[in-house]
Each structure stands twice: as C-alpha cells, then as structure tokens.
Amino acid sequence: MIASPYLLYLGHVNDEVGIKTSRGLAVFRPDECVGEFRHDDCELTLGLPRMDFAEAVAAGARTLVLGIANAGGKLGDDLVRDALAALAAGLDVASGLHNRLRDEPVLVEAAARHGRELHDVRDPRSDIPVGNGKPRAGKRLLTVGTDCSVGKMYATLCLEKGMRARGLKADFRATGQTGILIAGSGVPLDAVIADFISGAIEQISPARDDDGWDLIEGQGSLFHPSFAGVSTGLLHGAQPDALLLCHDPVRPHMRGLPHYSLPGLKETLEANLQVARLTNPAVQAVGIALNTSKLSPDEAARLCAATADALGLPCTDPFAHGVDPIVDRIIACFEPSSRVATPSL
C-alpha cells in the first residue's frame, strides 16, 4: 500500500498533459494531497500549496508521487536527484513511469538507508492469463479516444459517479498509472506484454452477476501509430457492451506526432465498433465525451449540441457539465427503467 497523504510532483514540466497524473490525484483524491513540489522554471500549478520536501513532511505528507508523464516514461537525472532528496527528507517515493525506481541503485540504497519505501505503480501482476474471448456475464463500458490523453480516465471516473448517483451499480477499472493511484488497484496496461493485454482486461473485469457495470478506462487510440496495439487489446479484452468516445476538440495533431492529424469522430467510432465486435458483436456507442476546458462556456455548449446532432448520440463534457445525457442513453439501451432512480433536482 502506498502511504498517504501525498506530495505531488510537477518538477520542471511545462506541458499540461505532462502532469496529468498529479492533476488526476489533485482532482479526484484532494483529501489525500497536501501540496505540490515544483522547480522555479515550472509555470504550472495544481492550486495546492507549494512545498519543499521538508515542509511537506512537516505538513503530514508521507509519499512523494512522481506524477508526471513523459515520452517513454523515463526516469531522468533530475527525477533521480529529487527522489533522493525526498527520501532523505523522510518521504516514500511512488512512480508510474516505465523506468522503475527499483532499477536505480542509488535510490534503492538511499531508501534502505533512510528506512523509506519505493513504489513502482507500473508493475503488472505475474499471473496474467492469455485472453480467451469467451462471453462472460455482466455489463462493461469502455472509453475510447481519437488520441491518447484526451480525457478517457476523467470521463470514466465521472461516469462512475454519475451512474451511482442514478442508482446504478458501477465500478471504475483502472488501466493506467493515474487511475491505479486513484482507485488503489488496476492493471498498468502499457507495461503488459502484448500477448497478455486482452487477458489482463479479462482479469480485472471478470464475470459479474449483480446487474452492475464495469467502467473500463481506455488507453491510447486506434489511430495513434505509437499506441494502437494497446487500444486493440483493450477492445478485445474488455468485451464491451458500450463504448464512450472521448475527444479533445482543440488538439492540432496526434500527441507527440505533428505529422499525423486527428481522425474524425465518426471515423473513430466506426473503427472502434468494428474492432470491438470481435468479442462482442452487440456492442454499441452510447455517447461522446468532449474535453472543453480550453473553450468558453458558450463555445462548449454549441459544440456539444452540434456534435450530438451530427452523430445522433448524446454529447457532453463529463467533468464540466456532468454525464446525465450519457447515463440516460445507457438506461434507455440497457437498463429496465423500474430499477433505476431518477436524477435528483
């Protein structure tokens, strides 16, 4: 178990997407976050008190979370130096980067010397089976996207909250470092060997007979040359009954690939439905989730309405505007109305 409260690491990062893990914890687990650590050249903030490591320990923090995402998940020299300082100050260190803390001898030695713990979140279980594609009981929704880092985790967590508020049983299933830190469990899917990706999802979303939903956090995009393999395995292993398409309407190109433009929403939806039909021929789309954080309220409302009209599906920003239109669609398609509570006014 990773000890909380947390000090959230921003370091030298000046890319909003690059601090998505720290931001996700600040948004969805605010009671467990006492402050943020950032260097002077970092112009971003989570709105938390800025602290050095000693101040964080005095404020009750127990773990420094290296909540950043960089290309390849590398543990650079600056991160190692900061982790060493945090250990010396009395903090454990947790990381979801691909490079493991345990593979850095200086960190292992320092943790042992100071009596602290190192936590590598991107360690998959050792007993993951190969996927079999057999139909299994229960209902599952998977978030998919036009690109990576477009809000799939936010949409999934918001949907969990919204469905529960409407009387539905719904459980978030994490597949990435941020989701795992928020939920306390899950599978770091991009650290799983390719042959076992679908099996890993079958493992974290097994058969259920309680009329509940597993809401599975999506990863990557079928249209991203770097990450389409993970997205494909997710679609097959999730065996989804429902897909929720996520999109950032102001993104100029695929993340990290300026030579690749983003696909259209209809094109993306059709491709994901086609791939998902391998393990669930009855899969259907239930809505569009837009990240409208860079738009004005009027622009966001107009875009959501226009998108809904164009695709014939409910469209909303789950974080800014709630998920009721999508929950309405799920209820209409899958739920006997007599079992579901109406939204409170």
pLDDT tens digits for the chain (345 residues)? 789 999 999 999 988 888 989 999 999 999 999 999 999 999 999 999 999 999 999 999 999 999 987 765 678 888 999 999 999 999 999 998 888 999 999 999 999 999 999 999 888 889 999 999 999 999 999 999 999 989 999 999 999 999 999 999 999 999 998 899 898 889 999 899 999 999 999 999 999 999 999 999 999 999 999 999 999 999 999 999 999 999 999 999 999 899 999 999 999 999 999 999 999 999 999 999 999 999 999 999 999 999 999 999 999 999 999 999 999 999 999 976 544 444 433
**How far apart are the C-alpha atoms of 129 and 125, rounded to whole Å?**
10
Residue 125 lies in a domain: no
Return the SS3 of 13.
Answer: coil
> Any bridge partners for residue 8, and if so which?
36, 65
Return the pLDDT at 122: 87
Domains: count for the chain = 2
167 & 291 share domain: yes
284 & 226 share domain: yes
Return the pLDDT at 16: 86
Q: Domain limits at 85?
A: 6-120
104 & 147 share domain: no
110 & 201 share domain: no
Which CATH number covers residue 47? 3.40.50.720
Domain boundary among the residues 91, 120, 149 is at 120
Cβ-based neighbours of 144, under 8 Å, separated by 6 or more? 152, 218, 221, 222, 231, 235, 243, 244, 245, 246, 268, 272
153 & 248 share domain: yes
Return the pLDDT at 190: 87
Residue type, 216: I
Q: What is the pTM of this model?
A: 0.86
60 & 178 share domain: no
Q: Are 204 and 187 in contact (CB under 8 A)?
A: yes
Residue 290 lies in a domain: yes
213 & 307 share domain: yes
Which CATH number covers residue 226? 3.40.50.300
Residue 273 lies in a domain: yes
Residue type, 209: D
Return the SS3 of 344.
Answer: coil
The burial class, CB within 10 Å (0-12 / 13-18 / 19+), for 124 is middle
